[in-house]
Amino acid sequence: MVLNYIWIAFFIIAFVIALVKLVFLGDFEVFPAMMDSTFSSSKTAFEISLGLTGVLSLWLGIMKIGEKGGIVNVLARLLSPVFVKLFPDIPKGHPVTGSIFMNIAANMLGLDNAATPLGLKAMEQLQELNTKKDTASNPMIMFLVLNTSGLTLIPISIMVYRAQLGAAQPTDIFIPILLATFFSTLAGVIITSLYQKINLLNRTMLLTLGGAALLVAAIIWGFGQLDSVLMNKVSTSAANILLMTIIVAFILAGVRKKVNVYDAFIEGAKDGFSTAVRIIPYLVAILVGIGVFRASGAMDMLIGGIEWTVAAVGGDTDFVGALPTALMKPLSGSGARGMMVDAMTTYGADSFIGRLSCIFQGSTDTTFYILAVYFGSVGIVKTRHAVTCGLLADLAGVIAAIAIAYLFFG
């Protein structure tokens, strides 16, 4: 329902702004730009879905091997103490906990191509447990918020962009991103737990969250000992070695269980193809709405209003130039990436705005894209508090990113 209102708002706001521009400013280009955006955005949505087909088929095939080989069940049992607290509506030891773990691990390593199919697999399993098939369940919402909060340990792509655009130290945003995304995820978990009346003040969750904080601190310290070239090599190699290890481990587990791994892979791959087709309408809807909103100039007006407000209360406006990346990130990953590159190109890769835009890009994920794709893949139309929790986690990430950027680069 919330997505419905937001989608309608995109079009109405864009149309009103375009009409005002036409009548009062004589801007005859705004409506053609909006219409061009609808066509280009729908084409982009289809291309994204088409591009996902192969990746979905691959990873859902691998997951099917892991499922039949027993690895997913092993992961479920290991994670059961934590997931019982965080996802109290999921039966203890259910295989979906293994799928959720695999998805979160892929996200943390920056393996987007692997994370999406693993996440869609988890959503299908959560839908099997869902008693109201058109309404998001509590576990679905918690899982979605963990995704949209964007916990990432190795932001490889951002560091590559910085290197390409001439940053003297492309990896100098590594620790700030790690800190900002950690606060975003922590806020998302706490906010969703409050909505769902989940008690986090217990020994298991306190140890888990405390352990996660120590792990983040250890990673920060370890990578801080490396120079930029070695850091890139180590992080890239670690991510890819882990990914290939997972694939081989799943296949070996299937062989050990005497599973026909080839047939199991084909079975899962067929599900990947059908899933990619199912998400096309949802992607078209959300990307067209975002494209029209941008083309009308509404995004530029929003940024200008924020800058005026901050200046009026005597605040520092240095961060405002990077806000387009933060505001675009919940709507479109590629759009936010474009805003980040534009900020670094305009102000310089090593400028405060250039660095802050990179931290924004890495601190959260594409909330509306994830909601549209994940919920759309299983036919969820009533999202309940998913959008609210996801956006509040995004807001926490943005605030943390600004504070951390001033701490490191201000």
* Mean pLDDT in consecutive groups of 10 residues from the start of the chain, 410 residues: 75 94 91 92 79 77 84 73 86 83 72 72 91 92 87 70 80 82 90 92 84 76 70 66 83 91 90 76 79 85 85 85 86 73 84 92 84 88 90 92 86
pLDDT of res. 193: 93
Q: Where are the alpha helices (DSSP H) in 279-332?
A: 280-295, 298-312, 323-328
User: Within 13 Å and on the Cβ side, how many CA atoms surround 278?
Assistant: 18
Rounded to 5 degrees, what angle do the CA atoms 10, 14, 16 make? 125
Beta strands in 6-141 (DSSP E): none
| Token representation of residue 211 | 């352990």
Q: What is the pLDDT of residue 402?
A: 93
Q: How many CB atoms lie within 10 A of CB 144?
A: 27
Instruction: State residue 130 phi and psi, 5-degree precision.
Output: -75, 125
- pLDDT of amino acid 53: 80
Contact 104, 114 (CB under 8 A): no
- CB neighbour class for 108 (10 Å; exposed up to 12, middle 13-18, buried from 19): middle
What is the C-alpha separation between 193 and 80, in angstroms, rounded? Answer: 18
Distances, alpha carbon 335 to alpha carbons 44, 98, 247, in Å: 12, 32, 32
Nearest to 42 by CA among 283, 278, 274, 277: 283
Q: What is the pLDDT of residue 95?
A: 83
| Residue 196 confidence (pLDDT) | 93
